[in-house]
Every structure is written in structure tokens, then in C-alpha cells.
Amino acid sequence: MIPSAFSYVQASSVQEAIRLLKESNGEGKVIAGGHSLIPLLKFRLTTPGTLVDIGQVAELRGVRKEGNRLVIGALTTYRQIVSDPLVAEHLPVLAQAVRQIGDIQVRNRGTIGGNLAHADPAADLPGVALALDAMLEIQGEDGAEAVEAESFFLGPLITALAETSLLTAVSFLLPPPGTKSTYLKYAHPASGYAVAGVCALAAADAHGRISYVRVGINGVGDMAYRARSVEEKLLGQIPTADLIAEAALLAAEDAEMGSDMFASAEYRRHLSEVYTQKALQQVLL
């Protein structure tokens, strides 16, 4: 299909982008890599009056370490994330997840900010962001603020991002030393999107007890979520295969399972349990 008519403007800075969004009177949409937005335009699932192109705003790119967090600019592409030495050193699970997004063309153009701002429940990065205690850095008319990932995602394709605000960066909490991590997913055979995706991180203390554990799940419901019931079952325990199996049975307890033509709610519940068990086995045994 052909998109409805719209105006196109290009921003050269964050402040200019915010001004252009404000001038659009609620009819503006931000475009960067465009992989999520363009299909919606073609099917007329969204009909913006103005597209604000932020692709040339250099200040929104790059990776840097600030204290106990790794900060990644919103326009940093998947390809740049995979090849960045700071990501490889501190957040290998992020690179592992990014490698599973789309194909090489998508990874060359798609951006981390676009992925998270789009808030597709079947995307790979929302679950990873939750597991890594991500903070979403937002610039708006009234200044800057940082929003926790759990407060940022409000529903399918819905976020806390205001119409005249811009996601400028994402900061991830660095896991404790010795933490193991993994991201596993069951991908839809046609689209490659996650029918179930699980990001798990875990570390043990000197006595072998689980001292740190995070589990983020995407794909199975209307939005990604932290599997806190799983984490609570494991924390402070000595990991065993039986314990992991018991904890994995709680994977669907913190969200409502979705259902569509490809997978029923019951099947998604099963997938969440199976992939949580597999992920936990990798990081705990």
C-alpha cells in the first residue's frame, strides 16, 4: 500500500527535533532507521502529518561508560553495538540479543532507540532492557528526565514518551563481576520476531548461593516484563537442576499471555517456561 501524504523535515539537533515535533501539533512522528515506522506508514496504521528525521543528529550516537552504567545513544545502530568493545566487555548479552534481530540490512540501519521507543512486545530488546535495569533518557520541552524501563513500557506500541519528547539515550546497569548472561528466543519462522524471548543474568556468592538474578521476558504477552516470581524463587538458593525447573514454572506468573493465529496463550506459557529453564541452566549450572 501507499502511505497517506505527509510533510518531511530534517532536524540537526535534539532541540530542533523537539521544536519541530511541537510545531506539528501532535501530528509528528520521529523517524531514524525507519524499520518499524515505514511498514506502519505503508499499511496506514499510522498517518502522521509530519515526519521528523533525526538521522543526522550526531550527538545521539555512541557508547560510553559512566560509573556503573553503560550509556548508549538512541541513534546507535545494531551493527555499532555488536562491534563496540565496551559492549563486548561489559554487556555481552546485549550484543548477543542484537545479533538475533532481523537480518544484516536491518542491523546496519536499525537503532536501539527506535527499537525501544516502538515498544513492540515481540521485539528482542525490551526484555533485555528490563533484565539490565535500563533507564531511558528522555529530552522534552521542560528538560531531561530518566525513566525506568518498567515505567517506560505501558502496553503494545505504547510508551511513556510524550509527543514532543525525544528518547536520547539508554543506560544499562552493569551486572556484578562474575555474572553470567544469555538471551534465548523462539523466533517466528516468517518474521524472526520473538514468540518467546528470555534474557537471564545470574551470579553466585562465595558460598555458591545465588546472589544476583534477573529475568526479562518478551514476545509472550502484550508487553515485555520482569519475571520477578522466578527471581524470588532463586535468590539466596544453591542452584540445582530441580530448583531451576521449579522456578521456570513461574515464568508466566507476572504477565498475561497473548494469543494469535500462530500461538495460543497456553503455548506461549509453555514457551516462556521452557526458554526460561534453558536460559537459567546456561547461567547457573
Indicate the fold that domain 180-284 takes in CATH.
Enolase-like; domain 1 (3.30.390)
Closest C-alpha among 111, 110, 127, 173 to residue 146: 173
pLDDT digits (tens, 9 = 90+) for 46-65: 898 999 999 999 999 999 99
Identical fold, 58-173 and 180-284: no
Altogether, the residues listed in the chain come to a count of: 285
Tell whether domain 58-173 is in CATH 3.30.465.10.
yes
The three cell numbers of residue 283 are: 547461567
Which segments in the chain show pLDDT lower than 50? none
pLDDT at 65: 98
Q: What is the CATH number of domain 7-53?
A: 3.30.43.10
Rg of the chain over CA atoms, in angstroms? 19
**Residue 262: helix, strand or coil by DSSP?**
coil
Rounded Cα gap, residues 124 and 121, in angstroms: 8
pLDDT at 264: 97
- Cβ(210)–Cβ(231) below 8 Å: no
Instruction: Give the long-range contacts of residues 90-94, CB within 8 A, separation 24 or more.
Output: 90/65, 90/174, 91/132, 91/172, 91/174, 92/181, 93/128, 93/131, 93/132, 93/181, 93/182, 93/183, 93/199, 93/201, 94/128, 94/132, 94/172
Domain ranges of the chain: 7-53, 58-173, 180-284
